[in-house]
Structure 1
Amino acid sequence: MNFRSWTIHNLIVALFGTLLLLGNAKGDASFDENYDVTWGNDHVLSLNQGREIRLLLDKYSGSGFTSKSFFGSGFFKMKIKLPANDSGGLVTSFYLYLNESGVHDELDFEFLGNRPGKPIELQTNVFTNGVGGREQRYHLWFDPTMDFHYYSILWNHYQIMFFVDDIPIRVFKKTLGVGYPDNAMQVVVSLWDGSDWATDGGRVKVDFNNGPFEAYFQDFNINGCVSPKRNIQCLSQDYWWNLKRYWILNSKQQRAYEHVKKTYMIYDYCKNALPTNLECH
């Protein structure tokens, strides 16, 4: 085979490979493929042929949905647009969760509503073996009620990274002597009344005269290792999120992460909480 023939042959192989990848690429999953409504059924509306879900909160009920499967590791993301208007007392949540057989692990995004003119706070938290209290809170650099943004959690055996769009805002590393979530969890999403604590320590309550309140969600694909429990298979480097490059932040991510901590973090349990027996991360 001469050089010209070899080049054409390889171009054909490459083109075929690309077409094969495109043919096998997973499209946007509909809501029903990966999730079930778990409460407030009449407050959940499917839009765009299941590619978008609206959750509603009024004086009668909130609403929420949960993944059909449990996952032992993965990259979990959701596009979210938060309720507008006066959102004081509201909580919009996107998190990983296990609470059964005496085991409670949890990785949280919680959006804490506020009065008009005041910023919505984003709170993250990590529960391991039933122990939480690791809150960090941020003011976002955009209005999360105006458009959709991605909120993501990458969880492997070495670290947990929380992202807003592609910017890391929190890192929780597996460290000797510090609890780390090792059990398979479900993805949970909800909109609910957090009047007891969510805004100004519970002093601001939900004003249902400004409701009903609506939150919108997109992208129901899940990149996770399906498992009824944390197992060795979910640590395999056959899953891209377990590759060594995801054990630490790269230099660009590290700079962005330090900028977020310096500029937008407003509360850190390591600095602002009362004395505690929790190890700081």
Structure 2
Amino acid sequence: MINLACWNTRGLNSTPKQSEVRKLLLDYNISLVCLIETRVRINKKTLVANSVFKDWDMIDNYNSHSPGRIWVGWDPRILNITKINETDQIIHCNACILDTNNQFRISFVYGSNDDRLRKALWQSMCSSQHGSPWIMLGDFNVSRSVGESIRGCSRISGAIEEFNDCLQSLELDDLRFSGFLHTWCNKRSNGCISKKLNKVLVNNDWLLKFENSEAIFLPPSIPDHCPSVVKLGLQGIKKNRPFKIFNFLTDRVDFLPLVDRCWQEQVHGTM
């Protein structure tokens, strides 16, 4: 099984944070990781990257933002990653699992904390190609609903509506997940605020290709963001299963009328 990860480390220059990242990669057998808000200047990039990734390949978005807001490292023995394009808030890539040749698109996001600047992120997302398995993970810096915030926004804001409109047009939704719901906390003893800012989003093609995939939001350690781990879960072999019914149900006098009434109902929807 191939595992991916994403973590807003809020800086990566310190040795303890580098150790925390290496521990995450080792403990969860990670083959690809996206590190956000590294705050590593380009002249220190090689030194820090060698400490964290060792013999892995790496891409970043220094050309669009300095210091690099988004780092992506992966094991070239397992995956092949090709960058499609980048902005200061997102990197779009094509990915291929080498031993199975399963291919998909993957996007790494670090949204601005300015609502106005995030509009450019939504535009970049909506201009991306459709029609293949697609996963998008990162820190979007906005929640999808009021329920994803504690002592934060108490109403549906324009920023939330814009985010949801973008996801609806792209037909992206949260991947099944477990662990922490609120992935960021300001860690204040007075006026504590928690929100779900970190997300793993997928389209329907992804669910068909990787039907057993799931995300886990782990407890935060040194940074104030929870790391996310995605277990890919390749599509399993489906077995034919017989239709079963409890025979005693057919003895009920309302059984046949109920079946007939249900069959007459018009169902509207999609597959």
Instruction: Specify if TM > 0.5.
Output: no
Q: TM-score, normalised by structure 1?
A: 0.25
Taking CA–CA contacts closer than 8 Å with sequence separation of 6 or more, which of the two structures ends up with the larger relative contact order?
A: 1
Structure (1 or 2) with the greater strand fraction? 1
Structure (1 or 2) with the greater helix fraction? 2
